[in-house]
Amino acid sequence: MKVRVLVRLKPGILDVQGAAVQRALAGLGFGDVRGLRVGKLVEVDVDAADAAQARARVDEMCRRLLANTILEDYTIEAEPAERLAPPGALR
């Protein structure tokens, strides 16, 4: 079962990478960008009977390795979410 994990810096933690990307965009004429933060997408293909089990396993993976919960929050998408899929992606 394919599971997507989004890892991002917690709100309030300065994202220097995001700030640099935002400045670069401003240099390209995208001065209308009001905020930008860079995170990570981890795609995990895990053996699981159902989405709930897959989610539980990946949650444990996040707590033990995939995210540093001192700095980062994570969200788990147990099924490919519409809003995460690139336009025209095959299902």
Partner 1 sequence: MHLASGEEKLDSMRFGVVVFPGTWSDCDFHYVISEVIRQPVKYVWHRDRDLADLDCVVLPGGFSYGDYLRAGAVAGRSPVVEALPEFLGRGGLVLGSCNGFQILCEAGLLPGALMRNECLQYRCQSTSLLVENAETPFTRALRPGQVLTMPISHGEGKYHADPETLRTLRQNNQVVFRYATPEGQVTRAANPNGSVENIAGIVNAEGTVLGLMPHPERAAESAMGGTDGLQIFHSLLGSLVEDGTFLKR
Instruction: Give the residues lining the site for partner 1 (CB under 8 A).
Output: 13-14, 16-17, 20, 64-66, 68, 70-71
Q: Which helix (H) or strand (E) holds 44?
A: strand 40-45
Nearest to 75 by CA among 49, 48, 89, 55: 55
Question: Does residue 46 contact residue 81 with C-beta atoms inside 8 Å?
Answer: no
Pick between residue 75 and residue 79 the one whose CB is nearest to partner 1. Answer: 75
Whose Cβ is closer to partner 1: residue 2's or residue 10's?
10
Minimum separation from the CB atom of position 56 to partner 1 (A): 20
Nearer to partner 1 by Cβ, of 65 and 90: the residue is 65
